[in-house]
Amino acid sequence: MGAVMNPPSRSEPGTPRGRARGRLQLILILLMVIGPMILATGMYKLQFWVPDSRSYHGELIGNGQSRADLGVQADEQRWQLLVSVPKDCAVDCQQLVYLARQIQIGLGRDASRASHALATAQPLDAAYQTKLEQEYPQLQRYALDLSRYATLSEGRSEAQLWIVDPHGNLVLRYDARVKGKDLLNDLRHLLKLSNIG
Residue type at 44 in one-letter notation? Y
Average pLDDT on 157-173 reads 94
| Residues 6+ away with beta carbon under 8 Å from 158 | 85, 92, 175, 176
Fold classification of 59-193 is: Glutaredoxin (3.40.30)
Cα-flanking dihedrals φ and ψ of residue 81, to 5°? -100, 100
Q: From residue 56, how far is each of 15, 178, 185 by CA, in Å?
A: 58, 12, 8
Average pLDDT on 151-174 reads 89
Q: What's the number of CA atoms in the CB half-sphere (13 Å) around residue 45? A: 6
Q: Name the average pLDDT for the chain.
A: 87
Q: Rounded to whole angstroms, how far apart are CA atoms 2 and 87?
A: 104
- Cα dihedral: 128, 90, 102, 197 (round 10): -100
Total residues found in the chain within this entry: 197
Q: From residue 128, how far is each of 9, 90, 94, 119 by CA, in Å?
A: 89, 10, 9, 14
Which stretch of 83-87, 137-141, 152-156 has the lowest confidence by average pLDDT?
152-156
Domain regions of the chain by residue span: 11-50, 59-193
Average pLDDT on 132-147 reads 95
pLDDT band at 116 (very low <50, low <70, confident <90, very high): very high
**Residue-wise DSSP of 106-122:** HTGGGGGGEEEEEEESS
